[in-house]
Each structure stands twice: as structure tokens, then as C-alpha cells.
């Protein structure tokens, strides 16, 4: 149980007691930046002592800096515990900011609940790429009332249920591999998974920004052992302001883990925006395509292909594990073929040339041109063969 005991003590003790009544050992941890002598099992001073600069770095008068320091201290505190079955935190804006990063750092599958007054809005910053369950308390966390008692009891019992009926991540007879897919590369990815699923646990991620971040998080968590990154459209959005942008650290986990990696340039022919009205003015003279009522696509130009190619090459050059990057010369998406709106061989060639010119190729790191469209069955065959080649 985690929270700021000076402001949420009544609610925290209520949830702790419900969990204890269910027969589960419950430990109440105070993460209030100020050291108060309050009823809890782990005092804030002990948590603050895990800050690299000691508790004095946390117990300062500047509230914003104190919250940032306690956030770092609590993340380190939690990472040092070896007997955590699950975590439930209660918080407003300050408490949620302190608790969420520590929950994000826990392994996938460890039960983690955050009851937060911010849960009814955009929670991406609090959930990140983790499996945090956020619950909206409806009323503010300012004492127990007829509504909060029910919501907090539900949260407590949810954690109890997770702890009493654990479902461990399968240690797997089949190794886990991550694949990236977008609607316009679906035929390719489906063919690849169909051919590998008997021997590998295939986890497909939607290449809309969070998907790529989640995939790389699982790679570093050890739940994936390799990546087939067919669709890298989120990198285009990162570089040119699209709505489905990758993080700057895209491909960073591949470099750090040295995991086997087969990549391609699926959907690099497009920048993704919401409605047509959301497309920035400087893109509106381009070729546009209404993908559906919520997504409008802008065709990339040759000079943008060069920028993307150089960016990806820079990332691949940091990867010392086995790498194969495949270039489908006949088209990079379902929209990039003759008689389709994004067909532009010149723009594709600019990207291909930039990749070849900037990747430092070795026996382990190779770029290969494939004279096929990305959704051709033959291209999926090359993807599978390349993957099996580097994974043995």
C-alpha cells in the first residue's frame, strides 16, 4: 500500500485493512516528501534514504523538486524489495506522480493498481508501457464517504483477486518474438506469424507509437527474445510531427539487449494525422488519403525518406546483435503499388539508398534489397528465412 499518509492516511489504512482481512500481508509505505511521524509500516524517511543523495535531497521546501526527488527515491526503494507480491497506490496529482514511475519499473505481470484522481483523463504518462490498472475514485481522495468506500474496496479486492489467483507469464516452451504491424502491412505480418507460430510465441504490436514502446519494454524485460520489426511508420511520425510517433529511444532496446532483429520499412510512405482538418497547413498540398474517419495519411517525399533512412541507419549502427534490414523494392505498404494513391518509386528509392549509404554493414549487420512488394507472400518468406538465419 503506497501513498502520502499525511493527506491520504484514512483511505490508505482502510484499503490496507481490507487486504489484511483477506489473509494477505499488507505493508503501508509513506511516500510523503515531508517526514511525518504517522501510522505506517515504512516511514517516508526510510524511502527518502534511497535517493542517491540521501534523504536531505527529498525533504526540502520546494514542493515540485521534493516530489521529483521522492519519485526517484521510491522507484529505487521498490526495486530493492524482493518480496513484493503486488502494489496498490492512492494519489492525487502529486502522489500519482511519485507512485506511477515505480510501478512502471516493476515486471509485467506483477499486480499493480493506482487509484488516482487523474484516471478519468489521458493516463498515458502514468501507465506508460506497463500493465498498471488505473481506477478513478470519482470523488476526491479527501476522506472516506459513501462513494469512496465502495470504489476503494473494489480496488482492494481486485488486488486480492490478482494475488490469490496468479497467472504467471509462461516461461515458455516457445521463445517469444515481437512483431510490428499496421493496417497496410497486415498481410505481410499475418503470413510471417502463420509460418512461425508453431515454434515461436508471436506477439504483434500495433505500430502507433505505444505499440513500439511496449514491444521494446517487453524485450528488455526478457519476455521477448527477438524482434521482427516489419512496420517502422512510427519513426516517420516521430520525425515529421505525426500523431502516432515513436519514442526517441526507438530501437534502443534492440541495441542494449543485442537481440536478433529483422526490420523493414513498412508504412514509411505515410505520416499519420487524425481528421483532415488536423493535417498541418504545410502538408495539405501533398497527396492525402483518408484511411478511415479517424485517420488521414500524408505521403512522404524523397527528402523525407532520406531523413528517415539516415535516422534508422544511425540506430542500426548501434546494434551489435544480429541484424537484417529488408528493403521491399516494389512497395512499402498496401497504398504503395501501381494504381494506388501513395505509389512513388522515387521516394522509396531515396529511402533505400539512404539506408544502404549509412548503415555500416558487417557480417552481422546486413541490409538486403528484395525485388518484391512488402505484402507479397515471397517477401514474407524472405522475412522468415532471414529470421531463422540469425536465430538458428
pLDDT digits (tens, 9 = 90+) for 279-294: 999 999 999 999 888 8
- For the chain, the domain total comes to 2
- Does 172 have pLDDT greater than 80? no
Confidence of residue 301 (pLDDT cuts 50, 70, 90): very high
The residue ranking higher by pLDDT, 171 or 220, is: 220
C-alpha grid cell, residue 292? 478511415
pLDDT for the residue 171: 54
pLDDT > 70? residue 304: yes
- The average pLDDT across 256-266 equals 97
Based on the fold, state whether residues 91 and 191 are members of the same structural domain.
no
Provide the pLDDT for residue 170.
56
Strands 323-328 and 29-30 come out as unpaired
- Cα–Cα nearest to 210, from 191, 168, 238, 187: 238
Identify whether residues 137 and 229 lie together within a single domain: no
Domain assignment of residue 139, given as a range: 2-164
Q: Given this model, what pLDDT does residue 107 score?
A: 86
Q: Are residues 190 and 301 in the same domain?
A: yes
The last residue of one of the domains, among 164, 187, 211, is 164
- 63 to each of 34, 43, 321, how far by Cα in Å? 9, 18, 44
State whether 140 and 202 are in the same domain: no
Q: Terminal CA-to-CA distance of the chain, rounded, Å?
A: 45
Give the H or E element holding residue 134. Answer: strand 133-135
Quote the CA–CA distance of 15 and 43 in Å, as a whole number.
18
Domain endpoint, select from 114, 129, 164: 164
Does the residue 170 lie in any domain? no
Residue 325 and residue 265 share a domain = yes
Residue 354: CB atoms within 10 Å: 21
Select from 78, 80, 60 the least CA-distant residue to 69: 60
- Whether residue 87 lies inside any domain: the answer is yes
Q: 158 with 191, same domain?
A: no
Q: Name the residue with higher pLDDT: 4 or 173.
A: 4
Please check whether residues 140 and 211 belong to one and the same domain: no
Mean per-residue pLDDT over the chain, rounded: 93
Say whether both 12 and 112 belong to one domain. yes
Same-domain status, 148 and 213: no
Q: What pLDDT score does 38 carry? A: 80
Q: Is residue 289 in some structural domain? A: yes
| Mean pLDDT, rounded, for 222-245 | 95
pLDDT in tens, 338-389: 999 999 999 999 999 999 999 999 999 999 999 999 999 999 999 999 999 9
Confidence of residue 177 (pLDDT cuts 50, 70, 90): very high
pLDDT for position 35: 66
Sign of CA dihedral 55, 41, 91, 135: positive
Task: Give the pLDDT confidence score for residue 361 in this predicted structure.
Answer: 97
pLDDT given at position 337: 95
In a domain, 28, yes or no: yes
Examine the pLDDT at 166 and tell me if it is beyond 90.
Answer: no
Lowest mean pLDDT among 139-148, 236-245, 371-380, 381-390: 139-148
Predicted model pTM: 0.79
Is the same domain home to 224 and 155? no
Predicted confidence (pLDDT) at residue 36 exceeds the cutoff of 70: no
Residues 92, 228 within the same domain:
no
What does the pLDDT average to over 94-121?
93
- Model pLDDT, residue 300: 97
Amino acid at each position: 500500500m503506497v501513498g502520502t499518509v499525511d493527506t491520504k492516511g484514512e483511505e490508505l489504512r482502510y484499503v490496507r485493512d481490507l487486504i489484511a482481512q483477506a489473509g494477505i500481508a499488507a505493508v503501508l509505505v509513506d511516500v510523503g516528501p515531508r517526514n511525518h511521524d504517522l501510522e505506517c509500516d515504512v516511514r517516508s524517511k526510510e524511502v527518502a534514504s534511497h535517493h542517491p543523495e540521501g534523504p536531505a535531497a527529498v525533504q526540502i521546501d520546494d514542493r515540485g523538486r521534493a516530489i521529483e526527488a521522492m519519485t526517484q527515491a521510491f522507484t529505487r526503494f521498490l526495486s530493492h524489495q524482493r518480496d513484493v507480491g503486488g502494489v496498490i497506490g492512492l494519489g492525487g496529482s502529486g502522489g500519482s506522480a511519485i507512485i506511477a514511475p515505480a510501478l512502471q519499473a516493476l515486471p509485467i505481470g506483477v499486480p499493480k493498481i493506482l487509484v488516482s484522481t487523474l484516471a478519468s483523463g489521458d493516463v498515458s504518462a502514468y501507465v506508460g508501457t506497463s500493465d498498471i490498472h488505473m481506477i478513478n475514485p470519482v470523488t476526491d481522495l479527501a476522506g472516506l464517504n459513501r462513494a469512496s468506500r465502495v470504489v476503494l474496496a473494489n480496488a482492494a479486492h481486485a488486488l486480492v483477486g490478482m494475488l490469490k489467483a496468479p497467472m504467471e507469464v509462461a516461461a515458455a516452451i516457445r521463445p517469444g518474438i515481437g512483431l510490428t504491424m499496421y493496417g497496410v502491412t497486415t498481410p505481410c505480418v499475418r503470413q510471417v506469424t502463420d509460418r512461425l507460430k508453431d515454434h515461436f510465441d508471436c506477439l504483434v504490436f500495433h505500430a502507433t507509437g505505444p505499440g513500439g514502446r511496449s514491444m521494446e519494454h517487453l524485450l528488455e524485460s526478457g519476455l521477448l527474445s527477438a524482434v521482427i520489426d516489419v512496420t517502422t511508420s512510427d519513426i516517420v511520425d516521430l520525425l515529421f510531427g505525426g500523431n502516432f510517433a515513436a519514442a526517441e529511444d526507438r530501437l534502443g532496446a534492440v541495441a542494449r539487449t543485442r537481440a536478433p532483429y529483422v526490420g523493414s520499412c513498412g508504412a514509411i510512405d505515410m505520416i499519420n494525422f487524425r481528421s483532415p482538418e488536423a493535417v498541418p497547413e504545410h502538408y495539405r498540398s501533398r497527396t492525402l488519403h483518408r484511411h478511415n474517419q479517424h485517420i488521414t495519411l500524408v505521403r512522404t517525399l524523397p527528402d523525407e525518406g532520406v531523413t528517415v533512412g539516415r535516422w534508422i541507419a544511425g540506430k542500426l549502427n548501434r546494434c551489435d546483435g544480429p541484424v537484417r534490414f529488408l528493403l521491399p523494392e516494389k512497395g512499402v505498404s498496401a497504398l504503395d503499388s501501381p494504381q494506388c494513391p501513395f505509389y512513388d518509386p522515387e521516394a522509396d528509392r531515396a529511402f533505400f539508398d539512404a539506408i544502404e549509404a549509412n548503415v555500416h554493414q558487417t557480417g552481422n549487420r546486413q541490409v538486403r534489397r528484395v525485388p518484391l512488394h512488402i505484402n507479397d507472400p515471397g517477401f514474407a518468406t524472405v522475412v522468415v528465412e532471414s529470421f531463422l538465419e540469425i536465430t538458428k
